[in-house]
Amino acid sequence: MINKLLKLIKSIHVISHLPIYVFNKDFHLEHLFVADRVQVLPYDFTQCCCSEPSSNFLFSGILDEAFIAYSSSDTILIIGPFTTSHLTNAMIRNRVQSYTEDSSLQKLLSQYLELLPYFSLGDVRDFLVHLNFLFNGNPECPYSEDLHLQVTKNNFLLRQEKLKERDWRAFQPDYYTYRYEEQILALVQNGNTEQLREGLAELSNSVIPDNAETPLRSEKNYTIIILEKLSSLALQAGQDISDVYRLRNFYIRLLEEKEKLIDVLYVRDCAIIHFTELMHHFSNKDFSSLVKSVMQHIGLNLYTVLKVSDISKSFYVSEATLSSRFKKETGISVIEYIHKRKISEAKLMLRAGLSPSEVAITLCYYDYAHFSHTFKKITGVTPKAFQLHPQKLYPNFLPSAGPEAEHD
């Protein structure tokens, strides 16, 4: 292998901290780049990806860890292991116990999984783009052409399905589904749970989702679609981005735990009510697009130093204009809103067991005294006193839009 190319491959290892196996065309290992922070298992990669190395770009190991495979002319690269999500202790334990009952081996494999770095599935595409450019000078994903071909095939399959449909003129399920969901979303957007209850009772039959492998899976899939639409509605209304995603993901996790149809329906209805309550705090407020965007910007940057001057520059308005419009629409200043959002987040962190000093640092307060003073001004008690007298924690995903929105 050309020495220059080998240096570039090593640079990928240094930047990503991922082990990289470099094989020749006969699948003989020529180089291995690995750091102490990631462990490797003695895999026989010829069994995993040697059959079609040019198309099998991503494969899994015995513990569902991921590897990237890339081949070009006389070189085959295996990059990994890594995971595409953060592994909790419970997830690690389940994976290891399902593989072996040997306690000593379980300990070894648990340590192996604990040290895995994690990258999003989208990062895999970027890895492949980088490798494709490195080897072939082509800054495109190596499976890009296959995607376009697959879309063409999918279009053909969709047309075939449409031709096979029966009585679609007599009954239009897609139109009915659209109307049903629009009515649900309108009730949620109104933010009135009593009207929601009455409206649901007046609606005709619910939607029968498309068939999946089981009725349970069909209803779960449809519930996830509803959750996505509810999330989109909340974001368009100006709700905090992180909080909306947290709420959505909470219900998706809850949903996937259910094994009975009635429990799926229960989770779906809970989510609809929860989002309705969320919208209640915004339904009577006609915030401008600027103010909504500023609120969402603040919510996404709670763990940084937030200054009104920096925010105004981000939205290309003067500091005076931003301050005036924000105060006029919300009833509080930008800096007051920032503090209320940070203290709301601080409450969750204190209840989760973080020390007050850790919370102050994490939320980027100037020092602990500043954090403690702000916390007491808003809540009436110091952070330490708040932590020593825990109150029952209800799910609170609501941004504090004004003085009336802060309750505890």
Q: What is the CATH number of the domain that holds 337?
A: 1.10.10.60
Residue partners of 121: CB distance under 8 A and separation at least 6: 84
Provide the 3-class DSSP secondary structure of residue 167. coil
Reading the block at residue 255, the tokens are: 């949903």
Q: Decide if pLDDT at 236 tops 90.
A: no
Positive or negative: CA dihedral 323, 324, 326, 327: positive
- pLDDT reported for residue 135: 83
Q: What is the mean pLDDT of residues 122-149?
A: 80
Of the candidates 338, 175, 198, the one whose C-alpha atom is nearest the C-alpha of residue 276 is 198
- 42-53 pLDDT, tens digit per residue, is 888 876 655 554
Predicted pLDDT of residue 338: 93
- Statement: residue 201 has pLDDT above 70: no
Position 404 scores a pLDDT of 38
pLDDT score recorded for residue 69: 87
Q: Which of 144, 163, 186 is the last residue of a domain?
A: 144
Residue 224 shares a structural domain with residue 326: no
Q: What are phi and psi of 67, to 5 degrees?
A: -135, 145
Binned at pLDDT 50, 70 and 90, residue 153 comes out as confident
Segments forming the whole domain that contains residue 344: 289-405
* Residue whose entry in the numeric block shows the structure tokens 């779960």: 220
Q: Are residues 244 and 204 in the same domain?
A: yes
- Whether the per-residue pLDDT at 184 is higher than 90: the answer is no
> Is the confidence at residue 284, as pLDDT, over 90?
no
Average pLDDT over residues 254-265: 86
Highest mean pLDDT, choosing among 266-270, 286-290, 376-380:
376-380
Burial (CB count within 10 angstroms: exposed 0-12, middle 13-18, buried 19+), residue 299:
middle
User: How far is Cα of residue 75 from the mean position of the Cα atoms in its chain?
Assistant: 35
For residues 249 and 278, which has the higher predicted lDDT (pLDDT)? Answer: 249
Q: Where is the domain boundary, 280, 315, 340?
A: 280
β-pair partners for 21: 32, 78
Assess contact for 124 and 68: CB atoms under 8 A. Answer: yes
Task: Evaluate whether residue 248 is within a structural domain.
Answer: yes
Residue 149 placed within a domain = no
Handedness of CA 301, 299, 87, 349 (dihedral sign): positive
For residue 64, what are the CA distances in angstroms to 44, 121, 127? Answer: 16, 14, 19
Q: How many domains are contained in the chain?
A: 3
CA distance 201 to 219: 20
Domain identity same for 207 and 184: yes
C-alpha 52/C-alpha 152 separation (Å) is 23
Residues 340 and 244 reside in one and the same domain: no
Residue 207 lies in a domain: yes
Q: What is the pLDDT of residue 173?
A: 52
- Pair 243, 197: CB distance under 8 Å: no
Mean pLDDT value across residues 175-204: 65
Peptide bond into 117 cis (omega under 30): no
178 and 107 housed in the same domain: no
Neighbours of 338 (CB within 10 A): 19
Q: Which helix (H) or strand (E) holds 384?
A: helix 383-388
The residues facing 77 across adjacent strands are 22, 70
Looking at 144, 165, 191, the residue that finishes a domain is 144
CA dist., res. 75 & res. 114, Å (int): 30
- Cβ atoms within 10 A of the Cβ of 164, count? 7
Give pLDDT, residue 180. 67
Same-domain pairing of 360 and 256: no
Kindly state whether residue 155 falls inside one of the protein's structural domains: no
Q: Encode pLDDT of 52-91 as tens digits.
A: 544 578 888 888 888 888 887 788 889 989 888 788 888 8
What the block records as the tokens of 279 is 């919208």
Give me the pLDDT at residue 96, please. 92
For the ranges 183-187, 196-200, 392-396, the maximum mean pLDDT occurs at 183-187
> What is the mean predicted confidence (pLDDT) over 164-177?
51
9: in domain: yes
Q: What is the mean pLDDT of the chain?
A: 79
Q: Which of 27-41, 205-219, 321-335 has the lowest mean pLDDT?
A: 205-219
Choose from 195-199, 277-281, 388-392 the range with maximum mean pLDDT: 277-281
Instruction: Specify if 210 maps to a domain.
Output: yes
Q: Which residues contact 116 (CB under 8 A, 6 or more apart)?
A: 38, 65, 81, 82, 83, 87
Residues 113, 32, single domain; the answer is yes
Same domain? 45 vs 102: yes
Whether the CB-CB separation of 29 and 22 falls below 8 Å is answered with yes
Comparison of pLDDT for 363 and 261, the residue scoring more? 363
Domain shared by 270 and 294, yes or no: no
Neighbours of 316 (CB within 10 A): 6
* Confidence band for 402, pLDDT divided at 50, 70 and 90: very low
* pLDDT at position 170 over 50: no
**CB 262: neighbour CB atoms within 10 A?**
8
13 contacts: CB under 8 Å, gap ≥ 6: 19, 20, 33, 34, 35
Residue 160 in any domain: the answer is: no
Does one domain contain both 35 and 63? yes
Please state, in angstroms and rounded to a whole number, the distance separating the CA atoms of residues 254 and 270: 11
Q: What are phi and psi of 80, to 5 degrees?
A: 145, 180
- Whether 390 maps to a domain, the answer reads yes
Same domain, 294 and 258: no
Q: What's the CA gap between 58 and 244, in Å, rounded?
A: 31
- Say whether both 14 and 121 belong to one domain: yes
